[in-house]
Amino acid sequence: MPENSKKMTTLRHGAPPRVVVLAYDGLCTFEFGVAVEIFGLPRPEMGDAWYRFAVAGIEDGELRATGGVRILTDGHLSLLDAADLIVVPGWRGLDEPVPDALCEALRQASARGCQLLSICSGVFVLAASGLLNGRKATTHWRYIEALKTRFPAINVVDDVLYQDEGDILTSAGSAAGIDLCLHIVRRDYGMEAANCVARRLVIPPHRDGSQTQQLSRPVAQLRESQRLGQLFDFLHQHLAKTHTVDSLAHRVGMSQRTFLRRFRDATGTTPARWLLNERLPRAKDYLENSRLSIDSIAEQTGFGQAATLRHHFRQHFALSPARYRKQFAATPR
């Protein structure tokens, strides 16, 4: 989705980011597990600079979670004071009040520059704090109308996977929380790190936040899904090449009409849009972590010419590639 330079913050320069995920009585286990899997799991392949992680309980004592699980936390709300990113993994009920102490702790964290992220119904916690007033936010499609009705000051975005407002990020349903957390990893550590985490999870490495939550048709049949999966692998390995609808349809043995329909069923977007969403992060990664020229990056990411790369970069990030490199390169140039 379009981002402007004001939103393009990064945590990866300096000490490893400290991520604190909230736990509460009635904890949503899937959403909590997403945060633990992405940010809390030890990843020796990433070296010593991976995220520091802690769980903060918003109530005293042992906490119950969905499925009969009991949770013991690392501490209480004071842990939020040192957090770089706070994750709200769902909420126990739309009609359940959010404690005033939690709202105040979130406001203080935001005021000092901490990023806040909600998964699914966790957006109602951020909404209760008032931090989303006048901002864009999303949630699971089932809760969209409730969010609009209860918090009219929020600019609720319908039918997207996640919304990145820079310092505040919100996701749709539970699986979209994975996409958003990987988006954070990609922003903090680069595309290769995000792809590595995605491979461990055995999921696609990137779904653009603007993709639709709901598909109007069933997903492709198993045999076609397997062929498309092989196609995605091929495209990831050959982003620099020119791809047409005809060449891609021929590769998977479908007519162009069937291919376009099945591709949209599987991804929620068109092949051209999908390729653009893959090429831009690859270009960002080269700009951050290599000394390749802009012309070479354009060639290796499938944009062909530097002018084309500059056009899409400005359109999506409101920055030129050179300006982006100056601001976000991993090492001085």
Q: Domain 273-328 sits in which CATH superfamily?
A: Homeodomain-like (1.10.10.60)
Q: What is the pLDDT of residue 257?
A: 92
Classify burial at 140, counting beta carbons within 10 Å of its beta carbon; exposed 0-12, middle 13-18, buried 19 or more: buried
∠ CA 294-300-306, nearest 5°, is 35
Q: What is the pLDDT of residue 8?
A: 37
In 3D, which of 252, 249, 256, 254 has the Cα closest to residue 230?
252
CA distance 225 to 235: 15
Q: What is the pLDDT of residue 219?
A: 40
Largest distance between two CA atoms of the chain: 61
Quick one: tokens of 201? 């999870």
Q: What is the pLDDT of residue 228?
A: 80
Q: What is the pLDDT of residue 9?
A: 43
CA distance 281 to 144: 29
Q: What is the pLDDT of residue 220?
A: 40
Low-confidence ranges of the chain (pLDDT < 70): 1-14, 202, 204-226, 330-333
What is the SS3 string spanning 247-282? HHHHHHCCCHHHHHHHHHHHHCCCHHHHHHHHHHHH
CATH of domain 18-196: 3.40.50.880
**Residue 114 designated active-site:** no
Q: What is the pLDDT of residue 66?
A: 78
Could you tell me the pTM of the whole model? 0.66
Quick one: CA dihedral 27, 194, 136, 325, positive or negative?
positive
In 3D, which of 21, 41, 33, 6 has the Cα closest to residue 83?
21
| Catalytic residue from among 114, 120, 181, 196 | 120
Q: Residue 214 has what DSSP assignment?
A: S
Q: What is the pLDDT of residue 34?
A: 94
**Any idea where the domains of the chain sit in the sequence?**
18-196, 273-328
∠ CA 205-210-211, nearest 5°, is 65
Give the strand pairing for 168-171 and 162-164. antiparallel
